[in-house]
Structure 1
Amino acid sequence: MTLSKRWWRRPWVAPMFVVMVAFLAFSLPPYLMGGSRLPLREGFAAHKILLDVHIGFGMIALIACGFQVWPWFRGKYPKAHKIMGRVYVLGGVLPAGLMALVVSVTALTGPVGRIGNVMLSLLWLFMTFRGYKSARRRQFGDHRRWMIRSFALCTSIVLNRVWIILLLIGLQPWLDTHYGGSMDALIGDAAQASIWLSWTVNLALAEWWLDKGKGKAREKRGAVRETVGAAN
């Protein structure tokens, strides 16, 4: 089978990388220039440093996970897949997730947003660890399922930007009534809601995808049993 045919069988690969590159191109410049896209807590000098460390390792995790879910890359370069998997876990998720816990607790996103980010960080660390542990035990079916969940949580930061734009647009009709004309209050609610929607929706879609795969596997096993039964 040619690479072009494989491409048409996986039409989501190129858009995924395009979106990731666009996200990084939009999000990283302020941090590289010493600034930030997020408000920093006054009186906590380490907040900026921890946020920069989280962003740096998170970038590594985001790039690595894109290659990890690319079927052609996994099949063509299994050794590279294994090495990049370790980079994703040990050089991306682990430091980025631990820094995210501290940054989330001290963030200026309100209690609802802080809880959402803490839960996201804990689940990301837990599911990635389960996936890594499954691979070490050569339980590759479990490894795949846990890493799909990890991928969904890793990419939630990208979808967060989409959700917040949609929420800002959707909440505009209530600016003068519910929010009393306060754009800051509206943005605050949109930011907190986008935190939760970004990872809960992603994780729900991942579970749907996994359940869909199980359904196909059950249908295939059933068809095989029917064929064998008919032959007998």
Structure 2
Amino acid sequence: MATNSTTKKDKWIIGSLLFLSFVPSLAGLIRIFQLITGSGYTVENQRFFNDPIPVLFHIVSVLIYSTLGVFQFAPGFRNKYPKWHRVSGRILVFFGLTSAITGIWLTLAYPKVPTVGDWLFGIRLVVGFWMLFCLAVGFGFALRRKFQFHSHWMIRGYAIGMGAGTQVFTHLPWFVIVGGEPSGVPRDLMMGAGWFLNFLFAEWIIRRKGK
């Protein structure tokens, strides 16, 4: 019974996280295709074509980080393959840190586009440095074999890293009610809401695990 319960939980976790990462992963692959082929050039995305290195590093690191992380948080899979968990966990930390660093790099290096408000710059910096902090602290606890705290901080880091998936849902009310692409402060708030909801969900998971 316990094994069946664990299997169902694993399937739910893996399925949910893969679903959450599907749209941003697809968008990232499309962006890579555009940059390689030179297609889809617009005023909105010209900064990526002018300087493609930061965004390419960011997309690749996010794709690997989100995919590996899916299996890190499935308890049955993790317990069945502890060596895989340790090895892939180190890879996960590397690409998670790369994702956060390149996210900060994108924020600082690329010019502001017309659809972005005044708040998103600061929000992205806070999110990027918070993710860096979570992963560094989580890895430090793993080295000291304090695995409960390690798990907590890795949950926080992964939740923030998956913010783009949640942003799909925070934008839905605008698309349904208003229509068209949001811009300015409304867009900033919807972007920020994706990260904030993931932050709250991570804290809820951590407190639930502690009971």
TM range (shorter): 0.7 to 0.9
| Structure 1 residue 5 displacement after superposition | 4.1
Identify the residue that residue 187 of structure 2 maps to in structure 1.
191
For 2:8, give the aligned amino acid.
Answer: W
User: What CA distance in whole angstroms lies between the structure 1 residues aligned with 2:149 and 2:85?
Assistant: 17
Identify the residue that residue 124 of structure 2 maps to in structure 1.
117
| Structure 1 residue 98 displacement after superposition | 1.0
User: What CA distance in whole angstroms lies between the structure 2 residues aligned with 1:59 and 1:40?
Assistant: 20
Q: Summarize the Cα distance change of 1:75–1:57 in structure 2 as closer, same or farther, 3 Å threshold.
A: same
Identify the residue that residue 18 of structure 2 maps to in structure 1.
17
Residues 1-232 of structure 1: matches in 2 within 5 Å? 4-10=4-10, 11-34=12-35, 39-40=44-45, 45-46=50-51, 48-90=52-94, 92-105=95-108, 106=110, 107-108=112-113, 109-170=116-177, 172=178, 186-214=182-210, 216=211
Q: Which whole-Å deviations, capped at 9, do the CAs of 1:3-55 have from their partners, x for residues lacking one?
A: 64432244333232234345423442232232579934659932x32112111
Q: Summarize the Cα distance change of 1:69–1:110 in structure 2 as closer, same or farther, 3 Å threshold.
A: same
Identity %: 21
CA contact (8 A) 1:167 1:190 kept: no
User: What CA distance in whole angstroms lies between the structure 1 residues aligned with 2:21 and 2:48?
Assistant: 33
The structure with more radius of gyration: 1
For 1:169, give the aligned amino acid.
Answer: V
User: What CA distance in whole angstroms lies between the structure 2 residues aligned with 1:37 and 1:161?
Assistant: 23
- Answer with 112-121 or 160-169: which moved more: 160-169
The gaps in structure 2 that reach 5 residues or longer are: none
User: What CA distance in whole angstroms lies between the structure 2 residues aligned with 1:12 and 1:93?
Assistant: 19
User: What CA distance in whole angstroms lies between the structure 1 residues aligned with 2:132 and 2:29?
Assistant: 23
CA contact (8 A) 1:30 1:37 kept: no
Q: Summarize the Cα distance change of 1:29–1:3 in structure 2 as closer, same or farther, 3 Å threshold.
A: farther
Q: What is the TM-score normalised by the length of structure 1? A: 0.76
The gaps in structure 1 that reach 5 residues or longer are: 176-182, 217-232
C-alpha root-mean-square deviation of aligned residues, in Å? 2.7
For 1:8, give the aligned amino acid.
Answer: K
CA contact (8 A) 1:54 1:100 kept: yes
Aligned residue-pair number: 202
Q: What is the TM-score normalised by the length of structure 2? A: 0.83
Q: Summarize the Cα distance change of 1:79–1:37 in structure 2 as closer, same or farther, 3 Å threshold.
A: farther
